[in-house]
Chains A and B, each alone.
Chain A
Amino acid sequence: MNDKSASAPAHAGDLGTPVLSVQGATKRFGSVLALSGIDISVRRGEILCLLGDNGAGKSTLIKCISGVHRLDAGSIVIDGQITAIRSPAEARTAGIETVYQDLALFDNLTPAQNFFAGREIAAPPWLPRGLRFLRQRRMDAETKSLLANLKVALPRTDAVVAMMSGGQRQAIAVARSTVFARKVVILDEPTAALGLRESRQVLDLVARLRDHGNAVILITHNMEHVIELADRAIVLRQGRKVGELVPTADNKQQLVAMIVGA
């Protein structure tokens, strides 16, 4: 499944063609120019951080990539092919999975049921989708092995998600995105609502996503996390791309300056 990029995750930039690139992205809301000619690209086995102050256009850009909004101008190129993304379903078909800030988990379902919601494994194939019989044991088994793979520990995998802590829920949402993400995983502030230790676990999980060969786009406000995880960082300000660099402890001040426009 993972090609050579999985074995050499650390060297961003020399892994050949980007799996996703956005060229000249422009988006208007009425008279407000939310995005103006933004270019970004991300490769397999790479974490790209999107930085910027509130209103910089990060979320708008993400929503355009994940099909919630449509670009007014510019193109989205996936694996070298210009791809129209008109709905969240089309984004998912194109191999892009998004973990929203609100997680979009079903509190009344178990982790396995959450993982496969809308994509249930069911048979027989000649019946309409809704009338097929669930293969629950197979879905349970696949969920279990995936959680083990990502080293996500849950007290019980057959309890409903409502009974789990914030960190566990975040981990489930992130893990769910990897089940079907064939190309890109987008994470919108995955640690915003979490405590210190739970954040740590989610960050480790994000690093494992990269190590498994996924292209990851991460939005965060936490500079420590950026320096620790990001292979590259792109800074947006007022809908424009104002910088792109490899974040290190030494250029942290420079990054912050770019974000606030000082």
Chain B
Amino acid sequence: MFFIDKRKSKIQKRTFRSECRSLPTAGDYLPGLANKPEENIIGSVAGSPEARANTLAIGLSILNFGPALILVLLIAALSISSPYFLTARNISNILAQTAVISVVAMGQQLVILTRGIDLSVGSNLALASVLGALAFHAGAPAALVIAVMIASGAVVGAINGAFYVFGRLPHPFIITLATLSIAKGVALQLADGRAIPGMPPAISALGTDALGGLPGSVFLVLAVATVFFVVTQTMVWGRWIYAVGGRPDAALRMGIPVSWVLVSTYVVSGTCAGIGAVILAGRTDAGSPLFGNLLELDTIAAVIIGGASFLGGRGHLGNALIGALMIGVIRNSLNLLNVNIFFQLIVIGVVIVIAVEGDVLRNYLEGRVRVMQAGKHS
């Protein structure tokens, strides 16, 4: 056992390193140019192939690292314009507020990778929190309350996946829209339309400061992210998700169990909603059918703003986390700067449009690179 574990971790480490190495910058695709781009720009005549290749390479790099770059610039600008932004209290606040979006967005990310969408996450979270609160009042211990919430999320996810795949529905939009409604209705019914206060201390602790002034939920997010990283980047299942998202028909022909891969992503997304319920219940010390309102839009926005492709097959967990943080930072800063709360919706909408157009532009530029490759290497 020990031997195997050691080997496993070695493989992980190695794969991690090779993943890092293999994240290519656009300059890598244009051999010879990547080495000394500045020289090429200066030395080449405008409109020459080298200059155009360089422009493409730089454009693609900016698009690929754009979301992270924008986040950094945003934080820098806000640190200057508001004295409260870069305080420990505020940072901790932002992280606590984005914890739920972060976790649920990671699940949403997997679904979007397979060209799908999960609209039910918000209602799913609400139902899970209500079931958890009911379990608590029925005398269940903290561990069981947590298990109830996570299992509830997973079951709703499994229903989504099963109907989409085995019910042969044309698009997951439909079934997840249905479960959005059903889960919300069941939650309202069970809770009689009201929040149910009271959570075991172990869950409430997630909302209070744990380590270094950070709330416990932040560490839970990090733990979930670590699991996601290992599973999606080093395991066969993760590779299958990318293959199914890239080309579903080819995945089938290559013998990948496409149906089960699809179902599994919805189960994971639902499970993440369940974990989100635990975090939110911890922060508010209650379960409520009104939790998670518009969470589906926040998580989809986070994934897209973070730079993943809505067309499937492209993106990673970093996109979801960066996107979630960006939404958190934008909301927080608009509050700090005393901007009307309605305006936040407009800003986030505009950012989504920019992100999606960025994805379109990236596809276009890659097409151009392909054309240049054909000219060069044929």
**A residues at B contact (CB < 8 Å):** 88-89, 92, 100, 104-110, 113, 117-120, 122-124, 129-137, 140, 153, 155-156, 158-160, 162-168, 195, 197-198, 201
Residues of B within 8 A of A153 (CB): 377
| Given A108-B242, A118-B243, A167-B374, 10 additional A-B pairs, CB 8 A | A106-B251, A107-B247, A118-B254, A120-B236, A134-B15, A164-B370, A168-B373, A168-B377, A195-B378, A198-B378
Q: Mark B5-24, 1 if CB is under 8 A from A, else 0.
A: 00110011011001101101
How far is the CB of B167 from the nearest CB of chain A, in Å? 23
Contact A88 B313 (CB under 8 A): no
With a cutoff of 8 Å between Cβ atoms, the chain B residues found around residue A158 in the complex are 21-22, 24, 28
The 9 closest A-B pairs by CB, nearest first: A118-B254, A165-B374, A104-B250, A108-B313, A130-B237, A108-B246, A106-B246, A118-B255, A165-B373
A108 lies within 8 A of B314 (CB): yes
Interfacial chain B residues near A134, Cβ < 8 Å? 11, 15, 234-236, 239
- Which residues of B are found within 8 Å of A88, using beta-carbon distances? 252-253, 255
- Give the residue of B11, B29, B237, B254 whose beta carbon is less than 8 angstroms from that of A104: B254
Could you give, for residues 227-250 of chain B, a 1 whenever the CB lies within 8 Å of some chain A CB and a 0 otherwise? 000000011110110110111011
The number of residue pairs between A and B whose CB atoms lie closer than 8 Å in the complex comes to 137
Q: How far is the CA of A132 from the CA of B374 in the complex (A)?
A: 37
Expressed in whole angstroms, the Cα–Cα distance for A173 and B74 within the complex equals: 44
Q: Is there contact, CB below 8 Å, between A156 and B28? A: yes
**Cβ of B31 under 8 Å from chain A:** yes
In the complex, what distance in Å separates the CA atom of A136 from the CA atom of B18? 8
Whether B366 is near chain A, meaning CB under 8 Å from some CB there, is yes
Which residues of chain A have C-beta atoms less than 8 A from B370's C-beta? Answer: 162-165
Q: Are A155 and B254 in contact (CB under 8 A)?
A: no
CA distance A226 to B281 in the complex (A): 71
Indicate with 1 or 0, residue by residue over B361-374, a CB within 8 angstroms of chain A CB atoms.
00000100111011
Q: What is the 8 Å Cβ interface bit string for chain B, positions 274-294, against chain A (1 contact, 0 not)?
A: 000000000000000000000
Q: Are B12 and A133 in contact (CB under 8 A)?
A: yes
Name the residue among A92, A118, A131, A159 with the largest chain B CB count within 10 angstroms: A118
With a cutoff of 8 Å between Cβ atoms, the chain A residues found around residue B22 in the complex are: 110, 158
Is residue B336 within 8 Å, beta carbon to beta carbon, of the partner chain?
A: no
- Asked if A106 contacts B11 (CB within 8 A), the reply is no
Ordered by A's residue number, 5 sampled pairs between the chains whose C-beta atoms are within 8 Å are A106-B246, A132-B235, A158-B28, A163-B370, A164-B373
A163 touching B378 by the CB < 8 A rule?
Answer: no
The interface bits of chain B over 346-378 (1 if a CB of A lies within 8 angstroms of the residue's CB, else 0) are 000000000000000000001001110110011
Which residues in B have their C-beta under 8 angstroms from that of A92?
A: 255
| In the complex, chain B residues whose CB is within 8 Å of the CB of A131 | 235-237
What CA separation (Å) do A20 and B245 show in the bound complex? 35
Report whether B247 and A197 are in contact in the complex, using a CB–CB cutoff of 8 Å: no
Asked if A117 and B8 make an inter-chain contact with CB atoms under 8 angstroms apart, the answer reads: no
Residues on B with beta carbons closer than 8 Å to the beta carbon of A104:
247, 249-250, 253-254
Give complex CA distance A120, B373 in Å: 28
Task: List which B33-78 residues lie within 8 A (CB) of chain A.
Answer: none
